Amino acid sequence: MKGYRRLIPSLNALVDFEAVARLKSFTLAADELGVTQAAVSRQIRFLEDAMKLQLFHRLHRSIALTKEGEALFFVTSESLQKIAGTFDSLSSNTREQEFAILATAAFSQFRILPRLPLLKRSQPQLKLRLTTQMFTADLRHNEVDIAIRYGSGNWRDGHSTLLFNEEVVPVCSPSWLEAHGEPQSPHDLSDAPLIAYDSTSEGWMGWEDWFDAVGIKRRRLNYVLRCSLYTDAIHAALQGQGVVLGWRRMLGDMLTSGRLVPLGEACVKMTDAYYAVVPHGHAVTPAVDAVIEWLREETVA
Q: Examine the pLDDT at 234 and tell me if it is beyond 90.
A: yes
For 98-149, the pLDDT digits (tens) are 788 999 889 999 999 999 988 888 888 888 888 887 666 666 656 788 999 9
pLDDT given for residue 204 in this prediction = 82
Of 1-5, 61-65, 225-229, which gets the smallest average pLDDT? 1-5
For 240-260, the pLDDT digits (tens) are 999 999 999 999 999 999 999
* Residue 143 exposed, middle or buried by CB count within 10 Å (0-12, 13-18, 19+): exposed
| SS3 assignment for the chain | CCCHHHHCCCHHHHHHHHHHHHHCCHHHHHHHHCCCHHHHHHHHHHHHHHHCCCCEEECCCCEEECHHHHHHHHHHHHHHHHHHHHHHHHHHCCCCCEEEEEECHHHHHHHHHHHHHHHHHHCCCCEEEEEECCCCCCHHHCCCCEEEEEECCCCCCEEEEEEEEEEEEEEECHHHHHHHCCCCCHHHHCCCCEEEECCCCCCCCCHHHHHHHCCCCCCCCCEEEEECCHHHHHHHHHCCCCEEEEECCCCHHHHHHCCCEECCCCCEEEEEEEEEEEECCCCCCHHHHHHHHHHHCCCCC
For 156-205, the pLDDT digits (tens) are 888 899 999 999 999 999 999 999 998 888 888 888 999 999 876 567 88
Sketch out the chain's domains with CATH numbers: 4-92 (1.10.10.10), 96-301 (3.40.190.290)
Of 81-85, 115-119, 214-218, which gets the smallest average pLDDT? 81-85
In this prediction, residue 94 has a pLDDT band, given cuts at 50, 70 and 90, of very low
